[in-house]
């Protein structure tokens, strides 16, 4: 059990972080902040009802000597005076460090103040010391969920549900964890049982909608969000989720209206940030690009549990900063494909900095060689990412003297200055440059493949969890494309592809050719060269299709309705030469795959 004196304040965590603290565990990267369904865990440890229960519990314990301090701490929580509540809880623990209620109050205060790491420790102490640990379990479970400790959260919620089987709140929370683990049938069973006790609870209908949505049943999910709103028209989570469903289905005006209505209601700070994130992509989809980029800055809102923190003790760039002659550090963010996509902005910044200034770029390590050969006038290095006390921190440790940096900027933030409209996107074919010698090498290697046009294919992303599955068709749907006669298909898909390649051979009679001697996941500069040697790269948006397009290689991209990167157009302004194929209806893959097959025949095999 932790002692009160062992708790560390994290209030100073940020730009002034002491470099000696960068001793956390290095991780492979930062997960992109995404707009997700508003169906997280329910409940509030500092609600009026919760405080009333705690007061009753304190009185029943007859802790006469400590009761005045405990009640004053509870009163401070009731007034949202979390710092005062924390100080009073510490006084309780100064007198009795094994007082479980004192630890509970300290945990609630620290959670409300954003000190999640120490809040977790305090909840754990309360759980160990209270005679009724189940009273802490829901709050400990919610915090574990928020900190992405889903296995622990599931265990705690199952414990709670065993104690209180009719609790809709606990059932909802367990269903959220099961949904996130893709245990969809279990999540539905938990919710159905809970609805037997209260069929008018909007929380349960809303969560049931999110479970269906994550399985791709977006049209059906709308019925459950509407049922939640029928029971409570002011339930903002369902309103927001209904807006997200409209966006996925391509009803963008309705999507934005629903999102704005949800934001106008009462919601928590983290949910408001999530809704604003979703709103930014809706604005982009409507072609209101400048507004969308301004709103997109919400991705750095500290209320996101997994927000990316930057360890850079230098001034931050703003759109009105005159960068001529200055030294600017640009740091890549989010996913690897996004770092490539946003690389579209670098030529503009390099031009504005001019010959007397300097641009330093920090990107994912696998991209360093590709970006350096593309932009020889700048310095390119690998950023490093650490998880420190459950915070994801990114730094550019290769910069030897940070004091030479005049300003730093997350790569995508440059959009606010350079891409405020679709028309502001340049018509250049490429902004990355593959190595000519390696293009020649791969052109020769491809001669050993079967005859016919060489088309590289990609059908998935390494991260295929939850809602992301909606953006990719099942491999079964590729049959009409793969059976296009006269085409030699080349595997460009990184990750485990053994099952799909075997399926293509056994079920369709198609041999997908494997390029020899290349790691498609890690050798990204060589991947760029290979795509330039191919006749075409075809697939969904992932790291490889972005690299191919950025290098100016021929690319056909498959997307879904409501894809924000199209910025309200039928094309990809980032890559003007790329041809885009989009289903007419959500998840209606077969017609678009047949269209691609026809286009392949017309492009490569038709006479003339």
Between 387 and 297, the higher pLDDT residue? 297
- Rounded to 5 degrees, φ, ψ at 405 are -85, 125
Residue 386 pLDDT: 86
Kindly compute the dihedral angle of the four CA atoms of residues 49, 114, 179, 274, in this order, to the nearest 10 degrees: 100
Is residue 35 very low, low, confident or very high in pLDDT (cuts 50, 70, 90)?
low
Assess whether 230 and 378 both reside in one domain: no
Q: Bridge partners of 540? A: 558
3-state secondary structure of 369: helix
Phi-psi category of 275—alpha, beta or left, where left has phi over 0 and alpha has psi -120 to 50?
alpha
What lies within 8 Å, CB to CB, of 4 at 6+ separation is 90, 93, 94, 97, 106
Which of 142, 171, 197 finishes a domain? 197
Phi-psi category of 466—alpha, beta or left, where left has phi over 0 and alpha has psi -120 to 50?
left
Assess whether 152 and 63 both reside in one domain: yes
Between 326 and 53, the higher pLDDT residue? 326
Assess whether 152 and 294 both reside in one domain: no
Tokens representing residue 367 in the block: 């991209």
Do the domain assignments include residue 8?
Answer: no
3-state secondary structure of 8: coil
Lowest-confidence range among 58-67, 73-82, 550-559?
A: 58-67
CA count, 13 A, side-chain hemisphere, 241:
33
Average pLDDT rounded to a whole number, residues 286-307: 91
Do the domain assignments include residue 431?
Answer: no
Helix, strand, coil percent content, the chain, rounded in steps of 5: 55, 10, 35
Do 174 and 154 meet the contact criterion of CB atoms below 8 Å apart?
Answer: yes
472-475 long-range contacts, Cβ below 8 Å, gap at least 24?
A: 472/540, 473/540, 473/558, 473/587, 473/589, 473/593, 474/589, 475/500, 475/503
Residue 147 pLDDT: 82
Assess whether 509 and 389 both reside in one domain: no
What is the tens place of the pLDDT at every residue in 18-31?
Answer: 333 333 444 444 44
Please give the DSSP secondary-structure letter assigned to residue 512.
P
Do the domain assignments include residue 430?
Answer: no
Residue 114 pLDDT: 78
Say how far apart CA 259 and CA 236 lie, in whole Å.
Answer: 9
Is residue 63 very low, low, confident or very high in pLDDT (cuts 50, 70, 90)?
low
3-state secondary structure labels for all residues of 80-130: CCHHHHHHHHHHHHHHCCCCHHHHHHHHHHHHHCCCHHHHHHHHHHHHHHC
What is the DSSP pairing of strand 536-540 with strand 488-491? Answer: unpaired
Assess whether 134 and 229 both reside in one domain: no
Average pLDDT rounded to a whole number, residues 274-280: 94
Residue 18 pLDDT: 36
What is the tens place of the pLDDT at every residue in 302-327?
Answer: 887 678 889 999 999 999 999 999 99
Residue 200 pLDDT: 93
Lowest-confidence range among 222-226, 228-232, 331-335, 341-345?
A: 331-335
Do the domain assignments include residue 397?
Answer: yes
Residue 519's CB: how many other CB atoms inside 10 A? 11
Residue 384 pLDDT: 94
Which of 197, 223, 257 finishes a domain? 197
Is residue 466 very low, low, confident or very high in pLDDT (cuts 50, 70, 90)?
low
Lowest-confidence range among 32-46, 263-277, 503-517, 546-560?
A: 32-46
Asked if the model's pLDDT at residue 17 lies above 50, the reply is no
**What's the distance, Cα to Cα, between the start and end of the chain in Å?**
78
C-alpha dist (Å) from residue 102 to 75, 123, 126, 129: 14, 10, 8, 10
Residue 266 pLDDT: 84
Residue 586 pLDDT: 74
Which of 420, 451, 466 finishes a domain? 420
Average pLDDT rounded to a whole number, residues 471-477: 83
Assess whether 373 and 390 both reside in one domain: yes
Average pLDDT rounded to a whole number, residues 591-598: 96
Do the domain assignments include residue 9?
Answer: no
Assess whether 286 and 369 both reside in one domain: no
CA count, 13 A, side-chain hemisphere, 508:
20
Residue 28 pLDDT: 47
Report the alpha-carbon angle 255-415-343, nearest 5.
115
Assess whether 137 and 185 both reside in one domain: yes
Between 14 and 44, the higher pLDDT residue? 44
Structural domain including 315 reads 308-420
Which CATH number belongs to the domain containing residue 64 in this structure? 1.25.40.10
Asked if the model's pLDDT at residue 9 lies above 70, the reply is no
Residue 38 pLDDT: 59
Do the domain assignments include residue 4?
Answer: no
Residue 15 pLDDT: 27
Which CATH number belongs to the domain containing residue 593 in this structure? 3.40.50.2000
Do 580 and 567 meet the contact criterion of CB atoms below 8 Å apart?
Answer: no
Do 187 and 178 meet the contact criterion of CB atoms below 8 Å apart?
Answer: yes
Residue 78 pLDDT: 87
- Rounded to 5 degrees, φ, ψ at 367 are -100, -5
Residue 3 pLDDT: 66
Average pLDDT rounded to a whole number, residues 575-585: 92
What is the tens place of the pLDDT at every residue in 391-439?
Answer: 789 999 999 999 999 999 999 999 999 999 999 999 999 999 999 999 9
How many structural domains compose the chain? 4
Assess whether 329 and 280 both reside in one domain: no
Nearest to 529 by CA among 474, 478, 606, 456: 456
What is the tens place of the pLDDT at every residue in 87-141?
Answer: 999 999 999 988 988 998 999 998 888 788 888 889 889 888 888 877 888 888 8
Assess whether 468 and 580 both reside in one domain: yes
Do 407 and 315 meet the contact criterion of CB atoms below 8 Å apart?
Answer: yes
Assess whether 491 and 557 both reside in one domain: yes
Do the domain assignments include residue 22?
Answer: no
Residue 16 pLDDT: 32
Do the domain assignments include residue 291?
Answer: yes
Average pLDDT rounded to a whole number, residues 451-475: 77
Mean pLDDT for the chain?
88
C-alpha dist (Å) from residue 349 to 76, 179, 323, 343, 344: 50, 42, 8, 10, 10
Assess whether 464 and 559 both reside in one domain: yes
Is residue 205 very low, low, confident or very high in pLDDT (cuts 50, 70, 90)?
very high
Nearest to 14 by CA among 109, 114, 145, 112: 114
Strand order of the β-sheet with 536-540 is 488-491, 454-458, 536-540, 555-558, 579-581
Residue 27 pLDDT: 45
Residue 158 pLDDT: 92
Nearest to 55 by CA among 104, 128, 9, 112: 104
């Amino acid at each position: 059990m932790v002692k009160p004196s062992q708790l560390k304040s994290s209030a100073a965590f940020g730009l002034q972080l002491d470099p000696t603290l960068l001793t956390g565990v290095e991780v492979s990267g930062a997960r992109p902040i995404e707009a997700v369904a508003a169906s997280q865990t329910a409940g509030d440890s500092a609600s009026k009802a919760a405080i009333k229960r705690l007061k009753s519990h304190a009185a029943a314990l007859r802790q006469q000597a400590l009761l005045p301090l405990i009640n004053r701490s509870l009163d401070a929580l009731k007034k949202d005076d979390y710092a005062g509540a924390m100080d009073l809880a510490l006084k309780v623990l100064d007198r009795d460090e094994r007082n479980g209620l004192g630890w509970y109050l300290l945990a609630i205060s620290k959670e409300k103040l954003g000190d999640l790491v120490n809040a977790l420790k305090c909840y754990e102490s309360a759980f160990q010391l209270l005679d009724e640990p189940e009273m802490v379990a829901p709050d400990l479970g919610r915090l574990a969920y928020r900190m992405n400790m889903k296995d622990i959260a599931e265990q705690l919620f199952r414990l709670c549900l065993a104690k209180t089987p009719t609790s809709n709140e606990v059932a909802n929370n367990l269903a959220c964890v099961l949904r996130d683990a893709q245990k969809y049938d279990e999540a539905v069973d938990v919710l159905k049982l809970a609805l037997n006790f209260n069929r008018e609870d909007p929380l349960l209908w809303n969560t049931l909608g999110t479970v269906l949505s994550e399985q791709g049943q977006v049209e059906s999910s709308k019925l459950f969000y509407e049922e939640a709103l029928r029971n409570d028209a002011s339930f903002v989570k369902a309103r927001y989720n209904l807006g997200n469903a409209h966006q996925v289905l391509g009803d963008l005006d309705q999507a934005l209206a629903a999102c704005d209505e949800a934001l106008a209601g009462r919601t928590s700070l983290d949910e408001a940030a999530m809704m604003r994130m979703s709103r930014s992509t809706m604005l982009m989809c409507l072609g209101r690009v400048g507004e969308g980029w301004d709103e997109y800055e919400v991705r750095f809102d500290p209320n996101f549990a997994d927000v990316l923190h930057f360890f850079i003790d230098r001034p931050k760039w703003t759109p009105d900063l005159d960068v001529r002659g200055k030294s600017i550090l640009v740091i890549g963010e989010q996913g690897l494909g996004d770092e490539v996509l946003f690389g579209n902005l670098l030529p503009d910044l390099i031009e504005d900095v001019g010959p007397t200034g300097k641009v330093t770029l920090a990107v994912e390590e696998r991209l360093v060689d590709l970006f350096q050969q593309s932009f020889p006038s700048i310095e390119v290095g690998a950023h490093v990412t650490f998880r420190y006390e459950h915070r994801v921190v990114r730094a550019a440790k290769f910069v030897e003297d940070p004091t030479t940096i005049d300003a730093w900027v997350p790569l995508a933030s440059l959009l606010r200055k350079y891409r405020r409209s679709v028309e502001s996107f340049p018509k250049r074919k490429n902004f990355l440059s593959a190595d000519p010698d390696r293009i020649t090498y791969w052109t020769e290697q491809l001669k050993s493949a079967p005859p016919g046009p060489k088309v590289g294919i990609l059908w998935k992303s390494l991260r295929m969890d939850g809602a992301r599955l909606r953006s990719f068709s099942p491999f079964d749907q590729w049959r009409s494309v793969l059976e296009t006669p006269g085409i030699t298909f080349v595997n460009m898909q990184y990750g485990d592809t053994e099952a799909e390649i075997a399926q293509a051979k056994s079920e369709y009679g198609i041999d997908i050719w494997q390029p020899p001697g290349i790691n498609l996941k890690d050798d990204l500069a060589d991947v760029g060269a290979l795509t330039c040697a191919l006749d075409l790269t075809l697939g969904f948006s992932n790291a490889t299709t972005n690299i191919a397009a950025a290098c100016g290689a021929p690319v056909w991209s498959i997307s879904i309705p409501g894809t924000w990167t199209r910025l309200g157009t039928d094309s990809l302004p980032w890559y003007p030469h790329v041809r885009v194929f989009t289903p007419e209806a959500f998840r209606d893959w077969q017609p678009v795959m047949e269209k691609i097959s026809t286009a392949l025949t017309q492009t490569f095999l038709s006479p003339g």
